[in-house]
């Protein structure tokens, strides 16, 4: 069910500043804000921790190295 809410002109101007493209709706902007502040899942936290371990262990590939290997 859709609903209408009232917002101040100040909030409307702030939301307008956050638009990535002209036809983006206020709902899309609000969902983006919610997503940006949402808690990471436990799996995502584990994946990040594992990635940090791999980086510290030197198990990384720089963009320059990958480009060289691919002949780009």
Give the CB-side neighbour count of residue 6, counting CA atoms within 13 A. Answer: 0
Q: How many domains does the chain have?
A: 2
The pTM of this model reads: 0.56
Q: What tens digit of pLDDT does each residue of 39-60 get?
A: 999 999 999 999 999 999 999 9
Same domain, residue pair 11 and 28: yes
Q: Among residues 40, 20, 50, which one has the least CA distance to residue 32? A: 20
Q: Quote the DSSP letter at residue 2.
A: -
Q: What share of the chain is helix, strand, coil (3-state, %, to 5)?
A: 60, 0, 40
Distance CA 39, CA 52 (A): 19
What range defines the domain where residue 22 resides?
1-38
Same domain, residue pair 29 and 4: yes
Q: What tens digit of pLDDT does each residue of 16-46 get?
A: 999 999 999 999 999 999 998 889 999 999 9
């Amino acid at each position: 069910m859709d609903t209408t809410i009232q917002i101040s002109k100040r909030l409307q101007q702030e939301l307008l500043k956050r638009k990535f493209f002209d036809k983006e709706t206020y709902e899309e902007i609000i969902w983006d804000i919610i997503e940006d502040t949402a808690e990471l899942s436990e799996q995502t936290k584990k994946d990040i921790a594992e990635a940090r371990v791999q980086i510290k262990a030197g198990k990384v590939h720089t963009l320059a190295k990958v480009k060289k290997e691919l002949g780009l």
